[in-house]
Structure formats: structure tokens, C-alpha cells
Structure 1
Amino acid sequence: MRGRAAECEALRSLIATVQSGSHQVLVVRGEAGVGKTALLDYVSELTSDFRCVRVAGVESDMELAFAGLQQLCAPLMERFDELPQPQREALNVAFGRGVGPTPDRFLVGLAVLSLMAAAANDQPLLCIIDDAQWLDQVSVQTLAFVARRLLAEPVALVFAARDGNAPTLTGLPELTISGLSDSDARELLNSVIPGRIDERVRDRIVAETRGIPLALLEVPRNLSAAELAGGFGNLAASRSAGQLEESFVRRIRSLPADTQRLLLVAAAEPVGDAALFLRAAANLGIPVDALAPAEAAGVIEFGPRMRFQHPLVRSATYSNADLADRRVIHRALADATDPGLDPDRRAWHAANAAAGPNEAVAAELETSAARAQSRRHRRGGGILGARSNFDIGPGPPRLQGDRRRTSQGRCSSPRSCI
């Protein structure tokens, strides 16, 4: 559990307390992908002498009353006959084992409490509830009821829920999980990338994923070796518009037109160079103040390196822009890039800006390819990679052939031009 020493210690303490005969309740909170499920897996590995039951909420079951509760309690129903008659009747109806009027929720809660206490008579009981925000409301309410009424039973209830969700669990002990520290995030990233990774690319991935482990693991899988070695691909553009979080798309579309254009500038510039961003904005005649609504909405942070709230925001910005708008933005970025200091980046932006065959762009790309090939031989990587990585459109052609094909400007995304 890289970077989770404090969290693991809290879970070990929780288990030790239950082993001594007392109950424990904990709600692990954090955003999607932060590692809540991994921590639940960790605590389950600590409990070889426990009985462990586990349930994970599923969105499709949210409207099915008692669905989550039934799944959690099913392994414990062997102790069902030990419950008082009113509780047995209530639980039978709730779980579809009997017919009758809608069961009293108080009795259902007492029945679940009694069932867990009976199961814990033999050995300590660990109940793990993952994705609690997706459990049906009745099940969440019942489990919160039980959590607040456990006394001397050796029972642990450990929930995992996303930030700002499952308000019924508010007030129970919480463990808030945030992203990994920069150093731990870099270590995790390095552990899943077999080859060389350019420091700028690595730092940008760490910054934009905010150390969220799932994002750190997923983003590099969408990048080529050339991009990881310093290529100018869009770090999130491999995701299609249909795969984007729709909420991000709606937020972007609600912003003023000039704000959206500046977001597109930031999304199209893969290194996040703020100075280049400012020069491109000036080329477009858009005042930098137009970015303020996006900053206020928490979509992007302006600093020495531009940083989107989440990689999916970058993807949403770029993937949902018109091709003509992308070309205009790349043209502004190409014009703003010093050909003496960064000719490869200029060539890449110029290629994305081209709307048709362009001999000058093709020449720039071939020169860039030669430089990249030379660097690759010298240090095992390159800014743009070998010629075979120079797609100029959504499919072939590539640079290895008629130069005219490489300058036709059919780029549907920055990655397709790498």
C-alpha cells in the first residue's frame, strides 16, 4: 500500500479493537479512484480469524429496496432462527422470503443488529460495504441504524463512499483518503512504466491526476512510448467523447465562448507551458482574463504550468471541440512557439493546424523526425519518437512514405499526430 502508512495503521488499530471484544465503525471517504477499495481489501487481509461478509453497491440496484442489505446478510442467515419472532417476520418480508405488509424498518434494523450479534458469538465479524453511495436508500439507512447501536459485540462495519455522497452515514467515524504525495505518485507511476519517462510528462501526469492512484495507473496506458519519453501528445485525448464524464462536458459548454477557446488552447498544449499559453491567447486576440470563469468553476488552475481539474476535463475540452476550432488553436500555438528553442513542438502544432497538403509542414516534420531518431539512439527515447510514430491522421498515413501524405492535416486529436 504505497503512500498509505497512516491509513493502514488506522485499519490495523480498528481490527485490534474488535479482536479485544469491542465494536468498530468506519466510513472511508474519498473521490473515485483514490484507493478506497484497495484499503478495504487490505483490512480484509488482516482478518484471517474473522468472519467476513462483503457487499458492493451497484447503481442499477439503487431503486431496489433492501437489495444491498439482503446481499450482505445472506451469508449470516444460518442464525436466522435465533431472532425474536417479530424480527424474523420483518426480515422475511424485507428479503422476499415471506409475504406480508411492508415491514417496519425499525424491526428490520433490529433484526440485522441481532443477526450480526449472533454471528459474532462464534468469531469476530467484519462487514465491508463498498460503494455505499450506490446502495439502495433503505439498506444504507438500516446499516447506519445498526452502526449506531452496536455495543459490546465484536463487529466491525467498514464502509467506503465517495466524497459528498451517502449523507446517511454522516456522523459516523470517518477516514478521509486523498491523493498520494508527489513522491509516492512518482514512484507508483515509475512502477507501471517499463521504459523511460520524460520528467515534464511525469510531473504533468502527477499534477493533473492529483495523485489519484487509479488515474495514475490509467493515464499512462493510453500513451505511447514516444509520448512518455517526451512526445507532445495530448495526455488524455485517447478517450472518446462518449467515454467522458458528461458532467465535465456540460460544465465546459456552460462557460463563455472565449473561455472555452482558452480552455482549448490549454488542452491542445500538452506540456502546460503557461508562457506559451499566454502568447497563443494574444495571437487569438483573447484577453487572458477570459479564463477567469473556468478558474472560478474549478475547471483549471493557472500557474507556471496549466493544470486541469482532472484529466477527463482536458479530454472533454479537446474531444468536443470542432476540428476547425482545433486547427485555429494549433495554428496560434505553432506561431507562438519559438522555432529556434522548440522546433519539434512547433512542427507538431503546425501539423495539427494544417488543413491540407503543406510542403513546409512536411519538411518540418521530417526534420523533427530525424532529430528524434538521433535522440532515440543516444538516450533510448525521443521527443516525438521514431518515424513510425508520426501519424498525421486518425489512421494511416505515416511519415514513412510520400511526404505529401504527412502534411494533409487530418488530425482528429493530438495523439493521432504523434
Structure 2
Amino acid sequence: MTKMLASVTGGEEAEIAISAGADIIDLKDPKAGALGAVATETVRHTVAAVAGRRLTSAVCGDLPMQPETIRARVEEIAATGVDYVKIGFFPSENVAACSEILQPISKKKRLIAVLFADLAPDFELLSRFAADGFHGVMVDTADKAKGRLLDHLPPARIPAFVDRARGLGLAVGLSGSLEAPDIPRLLPFAPDFLGFRGALCGEGSRTRSIDAEAVKQIRALIPEEQRAGRASSVDYRLLAARGYAPGGADSALGTDKIFVREFVLPVEIGAYSFEHGHTQKVRFDVTAEVLRVTSHPEDMRHIVSYDLIMDGIRMIVARGHVQLSEALAEQVAAHVLEDPRVVRVTVRVEKLELGPAGVGVEIERKRAKQQPSALHARHDHGKKGVIS
């Protein structure tokens, strides 16, 4: 299950986050940069106050890529008793050396390497982090004024990152000015945790204090594991965002239709030799009939987002050449039907550059029986959890 990481500035905010259900309490000073560090004593006191009720993590600060500087700071934070130490790796020729010098510490403390989606991250470094004993890797954003994670790392690129990290035995985290609508788009990739700060501050800036109601709203969008001594708080309607559900939505509430129309992408498609080696414009029109989960939808918990359709099309197109329009339409339909709330889908695929008229195919597919999500199963295979 994906965990919710809440970045807090100290003990007071930690209590708010714990009360609202956050899984990981992350110490950070948002006024001091993307990975701005709080005082070491604040980390120590907060860890003591949390007293094992939640996992804890702390950032080391926006440090220069100098191996000895990095090592000293990581040792300092590790000594506070925090469960995870997060280290930012900014573009530098010294990145490998900064990772390697942490090998002795990684044998005693779980280290998380942080790369930045808006700084052209080098995912070849994942093998370096794994070799040096890191527990996990996460992607964040360095400049919070220049967009969210998905503005810099689109959904089509996320599976390759997640699969590679998992293949190396690394836990995976995603963060970077995430907002509520991003959650159902990211949950299908089954990251080990999603990180939040600004979204926890309500309508205010990420530098303001977190708001209990805002934390609860984010928590409610992430299916929650049962903790010892508590009744299960899993909302199975939300698990549909991960591609599975025990009984589906209530058909008595009827259905709605969501659609994507005239969505045009460059696609490598075609069976003729002249269609290989380049892209051509393809238009997608998709309509999905969706079981309702409430008579009064109010937020992202209650809907299937059209973003999931567009994200899926982008991911399918990114896989490479497709011979037939029919095959492409079938793949899109199968992706949309992975969500158990979808009972029927119509997909139209139209090639726009093969003459004076568009040509293509339109298919309609219905849900046969409950199937586990192929995307979810692929990303859960061999997964290394955050807790170990």
C-alpha cells in the first residue's frame, strides 16, 4: 500500500499530521528551500515526541555536492534516531562520490536519495544508489514556483523510473508540489509513498502551518492500511484508483459517462513500411461509462478522472510502434477497464495523415468480470516496501 508522507516543521505540526492519519512524519523547513533542513535538535525532539507512533524522516538540506560535507550532515541527522535520512542529489560531477562516501552509513541507517524532476534527473544514478546500499529513491521538484511533479515528469515516463528502481531493490517515493487531483493519477504506479507539503497547508503557502482539515482531505484520497488496535479505515471505493476492489461500486446508484474528445498525439503506428520510423497524428475519442459511488460527488474520492484516460493513452503510445489502429484501440480500452468502476468503454482511434479523410476504428468493450489491474500487478511484483 502507498503511504502518505507529510512534511512538518516540528512537534506541533507532527501531532496534527499524526491525528489526521499521515504514515510518515518528515522533518523539513519549507522556508529554506526544496530540502530545507530544520535544526538537528528539532529533529531529535520531534522523533522523541512521535515515540514510534509513526515512521519518521528528515532532510539534510540543500547541500553542495561535496562528499565530506554530505557525509558529515548525514551522520548528524542519522544520530537523531530518525528512521530515514533524505539526501538531495543535485546535478554535479561529484554525485557518484557523494553517494559512495555514504556506504558505511547506509549499512546502519535507511537512506533515501532525492532527485529533482525539474533539473533533468539522471536515472542512470539509480544503480549507483543501489550499489551504495541506499534504501530508496524519490523524485521531488527543486523550484516549487515552476510547477508540480507531473509538469516535469509526465505519467508516460514514470513507469520506467518505478520499474528500474524496483528492479534494483529500491523503495520508491514521488513528491513535488502534489495536489489532490494528482493522487489518483499516481496511485496506479503503486509508489511506496507520496510526499506532501503545500497541499497540507490548505489555501495558504507551503511556508505556512499545515491545516488539519487539509491533511485529512489528502489522507482520505490514499487507501489506508489497518493499524493494530484500529478498525479498518480502508475505503474500498478508493482502492479502485489502484485497480482493484472487493465488490465494486453500487450499481443501484447508476452510472455517469466521462469522456476525452479530439485528443491528438504523435504516434508511431502503421503496418506499411513507409509508416515505420516516424510518427503521425492520431486522434483519440474515448467515452467511459462509470458506476457512481455516491449521489453527491464532492471531491476526487467520488469520481474517475479523465486524466486517467489521457495518462493511459500517453503511456501506451510511449511504448513504441503499434502495427494496427485496432491493436491501439484494444490497448486503450483494456487500460480504461482496469478501473473496476468502469463498466463500458468506447474507443475511437483515427489516423489523420493518410489522405483527404481520416481513417481508423471504433470499438466498444464491456467489463466481463473483476480482473486485477495489470498495471498494478506489474508494479507490485518484487516490490520492496518502505518498512523493512
Please give the TM-score of this superposition, normalised by the length of structure 1. 0.23
- The structure where helix makes up a greater share of residues is 1
Given the two structures, how large is their TM-score scaled by the length of structure 2? Answer: 0.25
Task: Decide which structure has greater strand share.
Answer: 2
